[in-house]
């Protein structure tokens, strides 16, 4: 068992009235306005607001999990599952048949705008709260970071959406319009630049694990610059995070010696973690309230369906799961050079089909079965919650890396190579990632960095974003139904357009 340190359970019930987890920003009920206006009187209530702003990071409503959906949309995984409509939001992104009504966009829209709404409230309220200036500065840094994070998600996932920088009066809630993307990027950069000066460089003790730091803000700013092909600024910010490749940096980040240790429950918030989303196995999520869980359902989702161990001495101890995110042959092949497997293969992928052929296990060959499963996140029997009163399936405590050091090493190397920067430093960054798993150097070319990101970060939700950012999505995903100029973004959820008087207009591609 572990504790989720940024946990909505400490939040006052009143907060749910004006930032409910199931409502999009245009559905916020005005009945919470008076309660919100009377709140934020002291440091404790300000902290509750910070907690509220973090909380949407871990939402997993309806099993529309961000990482799983992004995996399914990429060339590395299929949606999988029990059938072609199982968690249909994933299935339609897998084959690019999504439309404004059906797809993951509603959950992503709700998650991010709930986070933005909560951040905006505290950004507005903090200056007038009587409390320690140092604490006020830190809280402001955190919510500025979070607002930037949520908007960065929006600008990568959607073509059209509103830029909202303050709480919206009830009378104006249908007046919002889509904003210029350049203005969104400008706000993200402004928020992060300010947050960098306010956030602590390090945090101490597990009671603060999961909170934003200056290193996280620098890393996110580097990613934001790279998303816009601002290679020089991206390399500059990422270098502040990375320090000496394979060596020291200002924040104490360090590559974990053993790659496999990155994905064990007893090694969360490790030296490689820059920004990590916390989950726990102690919440009371259940089949009547899936959204109540603070667990990570990816652990049950990606484990093989109908899994039965016939030979305990040789079989991995996976739980019987739901067979989502089955691995494509393309990713398997990418891990093999000649007859030699990349050292990260065994941590990333498990070949259940070969174990079945040997009689070691049996399993159900479900939708889009390839025999290969995502081992990084597959739940193990020994990881089940000991509390028999809750369904373990949706209460696994597996955390998610949003940003880790190997990611920022490769991002900086990319920025240097593509921007005509210090190629010798790019080489050191790439070498460090490969040396960690015992691989020899390869030239620091863009092609090699692309290949390294695919293997190093497989299954962690980066591949689809990378392919779109690199302009490679049509080539890699065209056989799946991807259309350039359309599927590089999600449609505005139809539910947001059904309100009479709304000024939002659908992305013309949809």
Is residue 399 a contact partner of residue 276, using CB atoms and an 8 Å limit?
Answer: yes
Report in angstroms the alpha-carbon separations of 279 from 143, 161, 439.
Answer: 20, 29, 32
CA distance 59 to 57: 6
| Percent of the chain that is helix, strand, coil (3-state, to 5) | 50, 5, 45
CATH number for 1-64+104-213+471-510: choose from 1.25.40.890, 1.10.1740.10, 2.40.128.20, 1.20.120.80.
1.25.40.890
CA distance 290 to 175: 33
Whether pLDDT at 31 is above 60: no
Q: Three-class SS of residue 6?
A: coil
CA distance 372 to 351: 5
Residue 386's pLDDT is what? 62
Is residue 423 a contact partner of residue 441, using CB atoms and an 8 Å limit?
Answer: no
CA distance 468 to 474: 8
Q: Which two tokens stand for residue 372?
A: 């290969």
- Mean pLDDT across 173-188: 94
Helical packing angle, 405-418 and 231-242, nearest 10°: 150
- Mean pLDDT across 422-444: 98
Whether pLDDT at 250 is above 60: yes
Q: Which two tokens stand for residue 391?
A: 């369904």
Residue 53's pLDDT is what? 98
Residue 204's pLDDT is what? 84
CA distance 18 to 31: 8
Q: Fold match between 1-64+104-213+471-510 and 229-273+404-470? A: yes
Residue 158's pLDDT is what? 98
Whether pLDDT at 266 is above 50: yes
Q: Which two tokens stand for residue 145?
A: 């970071």
- Mean pLDDT across 81-85: 98
Residue 260's pLDDT is what? 98
Domain 229-273+404-470 is in which class?
mainly alpha
Closest CA to 221 of 272, 187, 179: 187
CA distance 199 to 141: 5
Is residue 262 a contact partner of residue 277, using CB atoms and an 8 Å limit?
Answer: no
CA distance 104 to 69: 7
Q: Helices (H), strands (E): how many in the chain?
A: 20, 8
User: For the chain, how far is it from start to end, CA to CA, in angstroms?
Assistant: 45
Q: Which two tokens stand for residue 434?
A: 């490969």
- Mean pLDDT across 11-17: 32
Residue 21's pLDDT is what? 36
pLDDT single digits (tens) 357-393 = 999 999 999 999 999 999 999 999 998 866 665 678 8
Which region, left, alpha or beta, applies to residue 103 given φ > 0 means left and ψ of -120 to 50 means alpha? left
Q: Which two tokens stand for residue 34?
A: 């008076």
Whether pLDDT at 284 is above 90: no
CA distance 222 to 236: 8
Q: Which of 24-38, 240-254, 496-510 shows the lowest mean pLDDT across its residues?
A: 24-38
- Mean pLDDT across 487-495: 97
Q: Which of 68-77, 201-210, 335-344, 351-360 shows the lowest mean pLDDT across its residues?
A: 201-210
Closest CA to 158 of 110, 209, 201: 110
Q: Which residue has the higher pLDDT, 433 or 6?
A: 433
Is residue 69 a contact partner of residue 104, using CB atoms and an 8 Å limit?
Answer: yes
CA distance 104 to 356: 33
Vertex 305: Cα angle to 304 and 307 (nearest 5)? 75
Whether pLDDT at 4 is above 60: no
Strand bridging mode 400-404 / 273-277: antiparallel
Q: Where are the domains of the chain?
A: 1-64+104-213+471-510, 229-273+404-470, 290-381
Q: Which two tokens stand for residue 336?
A: 């093999």
- Mean pLDDT across 148-172: 94
Residue 35's pLDDT is what? 63
CA distance 279 to 330: 31
Q: What is the pTM of this model?
A: 0.92
Average pLDDT, rounded, for the chain: 91
Residue 206's pLDDT is what? 83
List of residues 6+ apart from 398 with CB closer than 8 A: 265, 279, 296, 298, 299, 377, 379, 383
Q: What is the DSSP letter of 407?
A: H
Q: Which two tokens stand for residue 276?
A: 């990590």
């Amino acid at each position: 068992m572990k504790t989720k340190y940024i946990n909505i359970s400490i939040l006052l019930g009143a907060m749910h009235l004006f930032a409910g987890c199931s409502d999009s920003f245009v559905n916020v009920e005005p009945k919470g306005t008076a309660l919100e206006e009377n709140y934020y009187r002291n440091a404790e209530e300000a902290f509750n607001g910070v907690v509220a702003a973090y909380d949407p990071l871990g939402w997993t409503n309806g099993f529309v999990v961000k990482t799983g959906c992004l995996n399914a949309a990429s060339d590395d995984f299929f949606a999988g599952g029990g059938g072609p409509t199982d968690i249909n939001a994933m299935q339609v992104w897998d084959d690019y048949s999504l439309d404004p009504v059906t797809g993951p966009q509603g959950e992503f829209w709700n998650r991010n705008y709930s986070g933005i709404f909560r951040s905006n409230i505290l950004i507005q309220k903090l200056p007038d709260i009587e409390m320690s200036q140092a604490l006020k500065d830190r809280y402001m840094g955190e919510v500025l970071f979070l607002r930037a994070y949520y908007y960065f998600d929006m600008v990568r996932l959607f073509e059209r959406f509103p830029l909202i920088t303050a709480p919206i009066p009830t009378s104006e809630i249908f007046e919002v319009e889509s904003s210029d993307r350049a203005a969104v990027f400008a706000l993200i950069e402004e928020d992060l630049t300010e947050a960098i000066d306010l956030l602590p460089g390090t945090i101490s003790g597990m009671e603060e694990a999961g909170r934003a730091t200056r290193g996280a803000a620098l890393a996110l700013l580097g990613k934001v610059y790279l998303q816009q092909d601002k290679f020089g600024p991206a390399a500059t910010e990422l270098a502040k995070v990375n320090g000496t490749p394979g060596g020291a940096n200002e924040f104490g980040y360090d590559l974990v010696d053993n790659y496999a240790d990155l994905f064990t429950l007893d090694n969360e918030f490790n030296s490689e973690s820059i920004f990590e989303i916390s989950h726990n196995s102690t919440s009371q999520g259940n089949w009547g309230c899936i959204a109540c869980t603070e667990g990570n359902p990816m652990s049950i989702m990606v484990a093989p369906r109908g899994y039965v161990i016939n030979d305990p001495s040789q079989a991995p101890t996976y739980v019987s799961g739901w067979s989502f995110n089955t691995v494509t042959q393309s990713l398997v092949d990418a891990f093999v050079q000649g007859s030699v497997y990349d050292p990260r293969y065994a941590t990333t992928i498990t070949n259940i089909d070969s174990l079945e052929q040997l009689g070691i296990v049996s399993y159900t060959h479900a939708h889009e079965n390839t025999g290969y499963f995502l081992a990084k996140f597959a739940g193990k029997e020994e990881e089940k919650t000991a509390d028999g009163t809750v369904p373990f399936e949706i209460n696994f405590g597996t955390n998610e890396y949003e940003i880790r050091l190997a990611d920022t090493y490769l991002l900086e190397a990319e920025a240097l190579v593509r921007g005509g920067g210090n190629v010798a430093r790019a080489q050191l960054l790439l070498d460090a990632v490969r040396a960690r798993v015992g691989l020899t150097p390869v030239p620091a070319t863009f092609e090699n960095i692309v290949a390294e990101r695919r293997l190093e970060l497989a299954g962690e939700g980066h591949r689809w974003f990378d392919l779109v950012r690199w302009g490679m999505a049509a080539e890699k995903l065209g056989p799946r139904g991807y259309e350039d100029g359309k599927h590089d973004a999600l449609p505005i959820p139809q539910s947001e357009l059904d309100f009479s008087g709304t000024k939002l207009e659908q992305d013309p591609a949809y």
